[in-house]
Chains A and B, each alone.
Chain A
Amino acid sequence: ARPGSVLHPPGPVLHPPGPVLHPPGQALLCTPPTRPGPALYSTHQARPCSVLHPPGQALLCTPPTRPDLVLHLYSTHQARPCTPPALPSQDIRNTVGNIPMEWYQDYPHIGYNLDGKKIFKPIRNKDELDEFLDKMENPDYWRTVHDKTTASDIRLSDEQVDLVHRLQKGQFGDVNFNEYEPSVDFFTNEVMIHPVTNRPQDKRSFIPSLIEKEKVSKLVHAIKMGWIKPRKPKETTPQYYDLWAKEDPNAILGRHKMHVPAPKMRLPGHEESYNPPPEYLLTEEERMAWEQQDAEDRKLPFLPQKHSCLRAVPAFSRFIHERFERCLDLYLCPRQRKMRVNVNPEDLIPKLPKPKDLQPFPTTMSLVYIGHSSLVRSISASPTGQWLVSGSDDCTVRFWEVNTGRCMKTLEVGGAVKSVAWNPNPAVCLVAVCFESTVLLLNPGLGDRLVVSSTDQLITSYEPPEEDKEQAVTWALSEGPEHDNGHRLTLTHPKAVKQVVWHGKGDYLASVMPDNSSNLQVLIHQVSKRRTQNPFRKNKGLVQCVSFHPLRPYFFVATQRYVRVYNLIKQELTKKLMTNCKWISSMAIHPGGDNLICGSYDCRLAWFDLDLSTKPYKMLRHHKKALRGVAYHKHYPLFASGADDGSVIICHGMVYNDLLQNPLIVPVKVLKGHQITHDLGVLDVTFHPTQPWVFSSGADATIRLFT
């Protein structure tokens, strides 16, 4: 670049419209092209040319858009900054370059000359009339061009007009250049009479070669000896490229195509932002939870953080660690194709009969027994199936007529009723009720009058034995208004009683007082002799519930995790059943006596076949929440379970007499209806003694009958 000149950067785009780069009145200095190579200037404009010139090539300047710009062609050999032609008296070249001249509209000047001085606009602009007059009067009008950059008219000289004419005709600009110089050929197509050289031909050029002959004879010998086989004839069948060879996994090529792409990394989301939206930031509790979680369990491997600006973001401390893990992932990830076995999911389900074929079982809610004001802990049906007794936390025991839902009787007792049990003997009308540390035997006075009076007789006919033995509970006969209410016997226990259960004959009664630190947890009472005994000398764990075997003298005791079966006559442990449950809640014995179900607080129901094993024959996990009650039907092959999820699940549980055939267990119906109150749903279930109906009592203070 010449000293003193203002240079523009190369490139066709120089002046983005807008406020940048070219405020008038300011000189613009740009870096000159640093690459070696001659710059090219147009004569009038003194602009550096935009292109770099590889040597040996002719260059063409960016074509001017205006006719007054003259093209100059240089070969690179001669490339040199051209000396400007003889300058007119004043050199008023504008240095602003090829910019829209409107930018200078509002200024008195129109640019800067080579000396950096302002070029002022002519005082008066030509209007149309001036233009016309000029056209009419000026003989040189045709050779006058308007220079926008200087806003002045230039009269072209004769040479310049000639040049324009020549260019318009497509001729070279230089007058002295002859494009039709005569050419001299190196070779000629004419045949000469004299050769270029006169050397005679070699002999070897026309006799056969000995070496070749030797080679040929060797080959001939080898063929004769059979060492070389002649070439097979070419197969005529066309060969095709097997385009799909790699697609077939059974083909050889296909097996090689084991490309498994590397797992993709998740793209960063809003959480990764240095300034995430507030909903992506963790709250204090979430942060605590995040910190307490295992690193593997965390949903996000980092804590989203907010920074005011990108500059404030600290270095990511886990960066190397994370890269390393990613590399490990890529390196250790098993690149193996998973061979998916096509299994019809229905084939995996064991073949069970359809519930439709297993009728009858309860399907719909028919009656709601409304009356209690608090959760109903326990229900029990009378052996005839006409009455139902329920005990509730509102300290009442209610007797209901089954087929109408009528509350026939309400008895207040002195505490929240934990368990009720109707005597299973149809010849005795007694209901055992336990609350706090009392077991109460009630005569509800429902059913056959004869049975009611004979029950009363049975109780009053008791004669105390001669020597009074010390007993764990005190038996007291009720009198007065309590007697009129139906109270008959009161058994005061030393501890809170949780469960009462009758023996099938209706004379024996067992009560449970859960206590982890004592051997006095289970008591067996005999009503007719008013005797009580503690069958166990040792504490084997917290007793949950007990039950009598329906036929044989066995006694089932469920502790937290095990069910122990005792023989009452031999007074020994016969079996210990491992339930695999964390905490047993309830237990029911099949009327046949060989099967048992256990409900547990960890949502499981275990079916034991006592003949089969001490491990559960089946574990049913149909409930979503803790089971509270289980029950068998007396005649129908049905069992039910009630849970805290408010549902009762009815299962078909067929027990066969054939010892070789295992029980058939089919879940048949989910009965819903109870509302969940205080996270408690169904608290107890019991079947109607004769019909395939199930009663369930719930925390919503109702009892429901499903038929």
Chain B
Amino acid sequence: MSQLQTRFFTDNKKYSVDDVPFSIPAASEVQELSNVINKLLEAKNGSHSQIEFDFLVRGQFLRTSLSNHMEAEGISTEDVVEIEYVERFTAPQPEECMMHDDWISSVEADSEWILTGSYDKTARIWSLEGKAVMTVAGHTDVVKDVAWVRRDGLTSLLLTASLDQTILLWEWNSERNKLKARHCCRGHAGSVDTIATDPTRTKFCSGSWDKMLKIWSAVATEEEEEVVVEEPPSRPRKKQKTEQLGLTRTPLMTLSGHNEAVSSVLWLDSEEICSASWDHTIRLWDAETGSVKTTLTGSKVFNHISYSPLCRRLASGSTDRHVRLWDPRSKDGSLVLLSLTSHSGWVTAVKWAPSHEHQLVSGSLDNLVKLWDTRSCKTPLYDVSAHEDKVLCVDWTDSRLMLSGGADNKLYTYRYTACETDAGA
């Protein structure tokens, strides 16, 4: 059994060990290394309790035995190996399962409420505990995307986009549980598949099957003739009635350039919009002028993108079953930084962790939700196999909650315990 000279280090002061080289069996795996660290910590600090660690060798998670990993990565075994260790990310614990009447097309949660859009033509507001609070009914067709706009005390503004080519801006009072349709945004000539609110919470952008992106104002203007929707709606509304829902609003700006349907849109910052499309491109737009700034070209249809301001990377889920990471700022060289390959179906949803620069979650048509760490691109951290059918949407909130919804009409929430050590690095 060959031995390797290793040196362990960590960013977390709580778990630091002496900076001396250790001789470790080359065949040792994560569990054995973890035991070694725990032994060292126990020797140092009597009150230390067992903690599971994960190990990084040159920024890559150790997933096989040390010798195999070094061989695969081409690291010399002659020198002292620097191994970083971090507290292991604990598995997300399933918490709630919210049953819907139909497929869940979209989910967005904030710190208090969860908003889901469903194929039964309604959107729903849930409390974090899984209690249905409100049904947002008004669309005449499938709700494709939902978004929170802003919250002033008890009043929230929210958006629902639908296959009926409209976006509805709603005002919801959580105390009185009253819902008002404030505006009906018309202008798209195809199903509105995606909406995103800008960081200033005054505008939003929508992407549609008609290849267009439109920017709208998200400010509700006061008007007299608004229709109050009773809760819950007694029956599905007819088309004539929904046409009166709210004031008709027209787009501030139309961004055209995509050759195929726009599948996902988001704001990088208040001036920059990023959109993914079926024409195999991701485009960055200037929100002021409405011109394309950069085009990232892939080889397959993009289903969804997500942006992390922490690591400044775009993650894209596409129909070739990979999650890819892009650098939207890079002007040269290969644009794809990393491919995360483990899904066996289309990746329909991706979402970066709001407080961790390496972690993201992805949902796929293979019924799996996968939790990834970008430092381990071949194997995900965890596979969450709660869903019995296609996963269509995932979300990840600041409040330690991951959500996923799919074609089995169930919205699952998972709670995880974040490691403070990694947050905001």
Which one of A94-102, A293-301, A447-455 is at the B interface?
A: A447-455
* Contact partners of B390 in chain A: CB under 8 A: 404-405
Closest partner residue, chain A, to B209 (CB atom): A386
Instruction: Verify if A43 is at the interface (C-beta below 8 Å from B).
Output: no
* Contact partners of B41 in chain A: CB under 8 A: none
Tell me, in angstroms, the Cα distance from A691 to B191 when the chains sit together. Answer: 18
Instruction: Verify if B164 is at the interface (C-beta below 8 Å from A).
Output: yes
Instruction: Verify if A406 is at the interface (C-beta below 8 Å from B).
Output: yes
What are 12 A-B pairs with beta-carbon distances under 8 A?
A366-B345, A366-B346, A385-B261, A386-B190, A386-B209, A404-B390, A406-B142, A448-B190, A449-B164, A707-B300, A707-B301, A707-B319
Instruction: Verify if B407 is at the interface (C-beta below 8 Å from A).
Output: yes
A361-417 contacts to B (CB < 8 Å): 364, 366-367, 384-386, 403-406, 408
* The residue from A359, A364, A405, A690 contacting B278, defined by CB atoms under 8 A apart: A690
Contact with B along A422-455 (1 / 0, CB 8 A): 0000000000000000000000000111100000
Closest partner residue, chain B, to A707 (CB atom): B319
Whether A448 pairs with B165 at a CB distance below 8 angstroms is: yes
| Nearest CB in chain B: distance from A705 CB, A | 10
Whether A404 pairs with B407 at a CB distance below 8 angstroms is: yes
B98-147 contacts to A (CB < 8 Å): 103, 119, 142
Asked if A367 meets B365 with Cβ closer than 8 Å, knowing A360-B299, A449-B165, the reply is: yes
Asked if A384 meets B407 with Cβ closer than 8 Å, knowing A366-B365, A404-B103, A690-B278, the reply is: no
* Contact partners of B392 in chain A: CB under 8 A: 404
Tell me, in angstroms, the Cα distance from A591 to B231 when the chains sit together. Answer: 53
Whether A448 pairs with B346 at a CB distance below 8 angstroms is: no
How many inter-chain residue pairs (CB < 8 Å) link A and B?
48
* The residue from B189, B278, B321, B407 contacting A691, defined by CB atoms under 8 A apart: B278
Closest partner residue, chain B, to A450 (CB atom): B189
| Nearest CB in chain B: distance from A28 CB, A | 87
* The residue from B103, B299, B300 contacting A406, defined by CB atoms under 8 A apart: B103
Instruction: Verify if B260 is at the interface (C-beta below 8 Å from A).
Output: yes
| Nearest CB in chain B: distance from A536 CB, A | 41
* Contact partners of A448 in chain B: CB under 8 A: 165, 189-190, 210
Tell me, in angstroms, the Cα distance from A408 to B142 when the chains sit together. Answer: 9
Tell me, in angstroms, the Cα distance from A406 to B191 when the chains sit together. Answer: 15
* Contact partners of A384 in chain B: CB under 8 A: 190, 209, 261
Tell me, in angstroms, the Cα distance from A360 to B320 when the chains sit together. Answer: 11
* Contact partners of B190 in chain A: CB under 8 A: 384, 386, 447-448
Residues of B within 8 A of A (CB): 103, 119, 142, 164-165, 189-191, 209-210, 260-261, 278, 299-301, 303, 319-321, 345-346, 365, 390, 392, 407
Closest partner residue, chain A, to B299 (CB atom): A360
A330-364 contacts to B (CB < 8 Å): 359-360, 364
Whether B407 pairs with A386 at a CB distance below 8 angstroms is: no
* Contact partners of A406 in chain B: CB under 8 A: 103, 119, 142, 407
| Nearest CB in chain A: distance from B305 CB, A | 15
Closest partner residue, chain B, to A367 (CB atom): B365
Tell me, in angstroms, the Cα distance from A366 to B365 when the chains sit together. Answer: 8
* The residue from B119, B165, B191, B299 contacting A386, defined by CB atoms under 8 A apart: B191
* Contact partners of A707 in chain B: CB under 8 A: 300-301, 319-320, 346
* Contact partners of B407 in chain A: CB under 8 A: 404-406
| Nearest CB in chain B: distance from A428 CB, A | 15
Tell me, in angstroms, the Cα distance from A474 to B300 when the chains sit together. Answer: 47
Q: Does more than half of chain B's interface fall in helix, strand or loop, or is it mixed?
A: loop
* Contact partners of A385 in chain B: CB under 8 A: 261, 278
| Nearest CB in chain B: distance from A365 CB, A | 9
Which of B303, B319, B392 gathers most chain A CB within 10 Å?
B319
Tell me, in angstroms, the Cα distance from A448 to B141 when the chains sit together. Answer: 12
Tell me, in angstroms, the Cα distance from A366 to B119 when the chains sit together. Answer: 21
Residues of A within 8 A of B (CB): 359-360, 364, 366-367, 384-386, 403-406, 408, 447-450, 690-691, 707
| Nearest CB in chain A: distance from B54 CB, A | 32
Give the 7 A-B CB pairs with smallest separation, nearest first: A448-B189, A707-B319, A366-B346, A386-B209, A449-B165, A448-B190, A690-B260
* The residue from A359, A367, A405, A691 contacting B301, defined by CB atoms under 8 A apart: A691
Tell me, in angstroms, the Cα distance from A690 to B279 when the chains sit together. Answer: 9
Tell me, in angstroms, the Cα distance from A220 to B45 when the chains sit together. Answer: 131
Tell me, in angstroms, the Cα distance from A100 to B96 when the chains sit together. Answer: 103
* Contact partners of A359 in chain B: CB under 8 A: 299
Tell me, in angstroms, the Cα distance from A450 to B190 when the chains sit together. Answer: 10
18 A-B pairs besides A384-B190, A448-B189 with CB distance below 8 A are A364-B321, A366-B345, A384-B209, A384-B261, A385-B261, A385-B278, A386-B190, A386-B209, A404-B407, A406-B103, A406-B142, A448-B190, A448-B210, A449-B164, A690-B260, A691-B301, A707-B300, A707-B301
* Contact partners of B299 in chain A: CB under 8 A: 359-360
Whether A386 pairs with B261 at a CB distance below 8 angstroms is: yes
Tell me, in angstroms, the Cα distance from A386 to B299 when the chains sit together. Answer: 20
| Nearest CB in chain B: distance from A551 CB, A | 22
Tell me, in angstroms, the Cα distance from A367 to B164 when the chains sit together. Answer: 24
Which of A367, A404, A690, A691 gathers most chain B CB within 10 Å?
A404
* Contact partners of B189 in chain A: CB under 8 A: 448, 450
| Nearest CB in chain A: distance from B212 CB, A | 12
Tell me, in angstroms, the Cα distance from A198 to B119 when the chains sit together. Answer: 152
Tell me, in angstroms, the Cα distance from A448 to B186 when the chains sit together. Answer: 12
* Contact partners of B165 in chain A: CB under 8 A: 448-449
Whether B103 pairs with A366 at a CB distance below 8 angstroms is: no
| Nearest CB in chain B: distance from A693 CB, A | 8
Tell me, in angstroms, the Cα distance from A449 to B190 when the chains sit together. Answer: 8
Tell me, in angstroms, the Cα distance from A690 to B280 when the chains sit together. Answer: 11
Closest partner residue, chain A, to B166 (CB atom): A449
| Nearest CB in chain A: distance from B302 CB, A | 11
* Contact partners of A404 in chain B: CB under 8 A: 103, 390, 392, 407
Tell me, in angstroms, the Cα distance from A404 to B102 when the chains sit together. Answer: 13
| Nearest CB in chain B: distance from A635 CB, A | 11
| Nearest CB in chain B: distance from A459 CB, A | 19
* Contact partners of A408 in chain B: CB under 8 A: 142
* Contact partners of B301 in chain A: CB under 8 A: 691, 707
Tell me, in angstroms, the Cα distance from A367 to B260 when the chains sit together. Answer: 20
* Contact partners of B300 in chain A: CB under 8 A: 360, 707
Which of B142, B164, B346, B392 gathers most chain A CB within 10 Å?
B346
* Contact partners of A366 in chain B: CB under 8 A: 319, 345-346, 365
Tell me, in angstroms, the Cα distance from A691 to B278 when the chains sit together. Answer: 8
Tell me, in angstroms, the Cα distance from A209 to B191 when the chains sit together. Answer: 138
| Nearest CB in chain A: distance from B398 CB, A | 29
| Nearest CB in chain B: distance from A3 CB, A | 102
Closest partner residue, chain B, to A360 (CB atom): B299
| Nearest CB in chain A: distance from B406 CB, A | 10
Which of A364, A405, A448, A449 gathers most chain B CB within 10 Å?
A449
| Nearest CB in chain B: distance from A694 CB, A | 13
* Contact partners of B321 in chain A: CB under 8 A: 364
* Contact partners of A450 in chain B: CB under 8 A: 189
| Nearest CB in chain B: distance from A268 CB, A | 58
* Contact partners of A691 in chain B: CB under 8 A: 278, 301
| Nearest CB in chain A: distance from B387 CB, A | 14
* Contact partners of B278 in chain A: CB under 8 A: 385, 690-691
Which of A384, A403, A405, A707 gathers most chain B CB within 10 Å?
A403
* Contact partners of A447 in chain B: CB under 8 A: 190
| Nearest CB in chain A: distance from B277 CB, A | 11
Tell me, in angstroms, the Cα distance from A385 to B209 when the chains sit together. Answer: 10
* Contact partners of B191 in chain A: CB under 8 A: 386
* Contact partners of B142 in chain A: CB under 8 A: 406, 408
| Nearest CB in chain A: distance from B237 CB, A | 16
| Nearest CB in chain B: distance from A408 CB, A | 8
| Nearest CB in chain B: distance from A422 CB, A | 16
* Contact partners of B346 in chain A: CB under 8 A: 366-367, 707
Closest partner residue, chain B, to A451 (CB atom): B189
Closest partner residue, chain A, to B263 (CB atom): A403
Tell me, in angstroms, the Cα distance from A448 to B212 when the chains sit together. Answer: 13
Tell me, in angstroms, the Cα distance from A490 to B29 when the chains sit together. Answer: 71
Tell me, in angstroms, the Cα distance from A447 to B261 when the chains sit together. Answer: 12
